Amino acid sequence: MSWIRACSADELDDGDALQLPTDPPVAVFKADGEFYALDDTCTHGLSSLADGYVDGAQVECAWHLAKFDLRTGAALSLPATKPLCTYRVRVDGGDVSVEVPDRV
């Protein structure tokens, strides 16, 4: 695992997300003032969760409307049944960094 810089803290508003070009891609979300980092690819339909709709600490997949918990990665509704991996986030000065898996 290694830490990479994702964005500056003021780049994301509540409800915003961005996709990191890592392998696998990781999405960084801001919800209710907190930053979260999870796998970007929905465990059901392969869409990018950074395109999803953030509501409270949940993101809804933009294609088939599965919901995930941003804090734990848990799949909260069909059609998804498998959880997402979550990654550690650090806000340091004005920078948001994420600990991502090393490329395999």
Partner 1 sequence: MHRSSCVIVGASAAGISAALALRRLDYRGTITVVDGDPHPPYERPPLSKALLDDTTGGLVPIVPWSTYADLEIDLRLGERVTAIDPGALKVHLGGGEQLDVDRLVLATGVTARHLALPHADADNVLTLRDATDAARLSAQLARGGPLVIIGAGFIGLELAAVARQRGIDVTVVEAQPRPLANIVGPEVASLVVDLHRGHGVRLITGATVERFAATGSTVEQVVLSTGHRLDTATVVVGIGVQPRTELGTSARVDVDHWGFPVNEFGQTSRAWIFAAGDVASQAHPHLATRGRLEHWDTAQRHGAAVGSTVAGEPVRYKEAPYAWSDQYDATLQIIGRPRGTDQVVIREGATPQRFLAFWLRDGRLAAAAGMDASREIGIARRLVASTVLVDNAVLADAATDLRALLKPHRPRSPEQLAG
Q: Which residues bind partner 1 (CB under 8 A)?
A: 15, 47, 51-53, 60, 62-65, 78-79, 81
Least Cβ distance, residue 71 to partner 1 (angstroms) = 20
Tokens at residue 29, please? 């979300």
Whole-number Å distance between alpha carbons of 56 and 92? 23
Least Cβ distance, residue 12 to partner 1 (angstroms) = 13
Least Cβ distance, residue 104 to partner 1 (angstroms) = 20
Q: Return the number of the residue (38 or 97) whose C-beta is nearest partner 1.
A: 38
Q: Which residue has the tokens 């209710």?
A: 32
φ and ψ at residue 70, rounded to 5 degrees: -65, -25
Q: How many CA atoms lie within 13 A of 7 on its CB side?
A: 19
Q: Return the number of the residue (64 or 71) whose C-beta is nearest partner 1.
A: 64
Alpha-carbon distances, residue 32 vs 4, 36, 43 (angstroms): 23, 11, 24
Q: Return the number of the residue (16 or 99) whose C-beta is nearest partner 1.
A: 16
Q: Return the number of the residue (76 or 90) whose C-beta is nearest partner 1.
A: 76
